[in-house]
Amino acid sequence: MSTTTQERQDSALAALAAQTIELPSWAFANSGTRFKVFSQRGVPRDPFEKVADAAQVHLHTGVAPRVSLHIPWDLVDDFGKLSAHAADLGVSIGAINSNVFQDDDYMLGSLTHPDPAVRDKAVAQHLRCLDVMRATGSTDLKVWLPDGLNYPGQDDIRSRQERLAESLQRVYAELDPEHRLILEYKFFEPAFYATDVPDWGTSLLHCLALGDQAMVVLDTGHHAPGTNIEFIVAQLLRIGRLGAFDFNSRFYADDDLIVGAADPFQLFRIMHEIVRGDALRPDSGVRFMLDQCHNVEPKVPGQIRSVTNVQEATAKALLVDREALAAAQRSGDVLGANGVLMDAYNTDVRPLLGDLRESMGLARDPYAAYAASGYAERIAAERVGGAQAGWGA
């Protein structure tokens, strides 16, 4: 028996109430392009202020209770103190991101570098991230590597894969039972001839070799033009190896824009596969995270907009009449099946999400609520002096 529209809406509300979206600490810092890092008033000066800004997003959306850290950008003397600060503000520390792309020693690679001493240094950096995880209660070590080649013959491609496998195994061997290593991939940049982890297949091969605690991270901006990202989502869910998303949006390459800014329909298609694969549940093992650089827009509102865009795409995916879709697919009704998806996508879900927020004791419009809160004006007045946090700091 097909479900009614009201039944789908009720089910969607329950699922949306349980959804969580993790925020990146670096999105609250100054950022820009390769040419210029732009400064804004009130930008955090340290990780404690980054966490405070992230807590504002959670305060107004109700679905962003975790903050990812980037090491060494977010190094502090006392991570227990930072975790307690986060808890006081109603959030917690999420994934720990390793940084091996801003040290001169890594010019020719980190975990794949030809020099064993440099590889040892890169491994040690990841082990330091594990110490941060233990101090903060984090369970995910997120690894993105800039390693690769700019020119044919620069290094041996196969040897780099062997070095990568060995280095990753050294890190993996130090994981605690509750930890995961989640391995990201990127089509290109900063390596332009051959990136060492360029696609989901390479990431997956290394994860399968490592063991059950290794999962793939999918960044929605890290693919060649025209790539069917939802196909990748379906495949990784099918074999239980999709560990996390880095949600952003791109027009040309790794633009790191507000989620859904370039192609909201793609975001809907991705979330449709998430719902289809029953991966929206909090215990599914799939973490939904943002990864963005707010170059020209204000930081906290930019994150709020991304969170609400993910919520809207998720709500539309939850409203798909799955019985009607399956029936159309079985009968070969091509236009009927597509029409079922389009009916859900074209639904205005903002009233539904407004109802959800009201039921959580929140304002119906989190963006407007933040603007009216006075927080932006307060931090602009208070955060005077000191060095603002920025890309690479």
- Summarised one tens digit per residue, pLDDT across range 335-371 is 999 999 999 999 999 999 999 999 999 999 999 999 9
- pLDDT: is 1 or 161 the higher one? 161
Domain of residue 293, residue span: 20-318+362-382
In a domain, 279, yes or no: yes
Q: Name 349's Cβ contacts closer than 8 Å, sequence gap at least 6.
A: 312, 315, 316, 319
Residue 386's pLDDT is: 87
Contact 135, 75 (CB under 8 A): no
In a domain, 14, yes or no: no
Q: What is the CATH number of the domain that holds 126?
A: 3.20.20.150
Residue 392's pLDDT is: 61
Q: Which ranges constitute the DSSP H helices of the chain?
A: 5-18, 47-61, 79-88, 116-136, 157-172, 200-210, 229-238, 264-276, 299-318, 322-331, 334-345, 350-359, 366-373, 375-382
- Summarised one tens digit per residue, pLDDT across range 88-125 is 999 999 999 999 999 999 999 999 999 999 999 999 99
In a domain, 5, yes or no: no
Rounded Cα distance between 231 and 227, Å, is 9
In a domain, 200, yes or no: yes
Rounded average pLDDT over 271-275: 98
Contact 340, 328 (CB under 8 A): yes
The DSSP 8-state label assigned to residue 23 in this structure reads E
| Mean pLDDT rounded to a whole number for the chain | 96
Contact 141, 99 (CB under 8 A): no
**Residue 246 pLDDT more than 70?**
yes
In a domain, 234, yes or no: yes
DSSP assignment of 197-237 equals S-SHHHHHHHHHHH-TTEEEEEETTSS-TT--HHHHHHHHH
Residue 178's pLDDT is: 98
In a domain, 167, yes or no: yes
**Residue 323 pLDDT more than 90?**
yes
Work out how many domains the chain is built from and give that number: 1
**Helix (H/G/I), strand (E/B), else coil: 167:** helix
Residue 320's pLDDT is: 98
In a domain, 350, yes or no: no
Compute the half-sphere exposure of residue 76: CA atoms within 13 Å on the CB side of its CA: 22
Rounded average pLDDT over 204-221: 98
> Could you identify the residue written with the tokens 């949006």?
249
**Residue 393 pLDDT more than 60?**
no
- Summarised one tens digit per residue, pLDDT across range 135-157 is 999 999 999 999 999 999 999 99
- Summarised one tens digit per residue, pLDDT across range 277-306 is 999 999 999 999 999 988 899 999 999 999
pLDDT-based confidence at 181, cuts 50/70/90?
very high
In a domain, 59, yes or no: yes
Rounded Cα distance between 351 and 35, Å, is 41
Residue 326's pLDDT is: 98
**Residue 200 pLDDT more than 70?**
yes
Prediction pTM value = 0.96
